[in-house]
Chain A
Amino acid sequence: SQQGEEDPQALSIQEGENATMNCSYKTSINNLQWYRQNSGRGLVHLILIRSNEREKHSGRLRVTLDTSKKSSSLLITASRAADTASYFCATGAMNRDDKIIFGKGTRLHILP
């Protein structure tokens, strides 16, 4: 089954710096999604990037997708304390009935 695996597992950076998280997966995908989770509760959808897209922006977020390397990156620019959270990538189905698989996440900590 397809699976997103994030790295690093944990990341601590100073407020104002940029944070980069990576995701690798194993099989062909229709799309890849990034989610944020605070305090172990509900996930918040950040960005969906489709397999025919290479880069996508949303505010301070930039996501890239390299289907040849089966990898994606999430860049958060000018980090803020409120960005402290866990970030997950989820690989989206090729087929309508295929389920999405989440990785274990990157725990990002923004230091004041």
Chain B
Amino acid sequence: GAGVSQTPSNKVTEKGKYVELRCDPISGHTALYWYRQSLGQGPEFLIYFQGTGAADDSGLPNDRFFAVRPEGSVSTLKIQRTERGDSAVYLCASSLSGPTDTQYFGPGTRLTVL
């Protein structure tokens, strides 16, 4: 595609619910990244995929967070038992081959946990 797309653009859920956030990277980009951004802060790294595998998941805050990229293209970030503190904008980015390349960001998904 022309750019990175993310769906939904906004998600409102209740505390304790399960949510899935989707990212469609730029076609041909092997590297995909998830970030979380709170108000007034810079993007906080969550996880980085190289192809289908998670090359670095050290930024995932706890085991309620999980991400997959089964075919090396689309990725889904999954959050179980959501908490109010999970409210943030979740950003996805892709790059051609890895972190030494320019990252192209999607518009983000704004998650609100009530």
Contact = CB atoms under 8 A, between A and B. Distances in A.
Interface of A: 30-31, 33, 35, 40-45, 48, 88, 90, 92-93, 96-105
A99 B103 contact: no
Interface of B: 4, 33, 35, 37, 39-45, 48, 50, 55-56, 58-59, 89, 91, 93, 98-100, 102-108
Contacts of A35: 105
A104 B55 contact: no
Contact of B39 (A31, A40, A93): A40
Question: Which among B4, B35, B56, B105 has the highest number of chain A CB atoms within 10 Å?
Answer: B105
B59 A99 contact: yes
Contacts of A48: 102
Contact of A100 (B4, B45, B58, B106): B45
Nearest to A29: B100
Given A42-B108, A103-B42, A104-B42, A33 B102 contact: yes
25 contacts: A33-B102, A35-B105, A42-B91, A42-B106, A43-B93, A45-B103, A45-B104, A48-B102, A90-B103, A92-B100, A93-B98, A93-B99, A96-B98, A96-B99, A97-B55, A99-B33, A99-B56, A99-B58, A99-B59, A100-B33, A102-B35, A102-B43, A102-B45, A103-B42, A104-B42
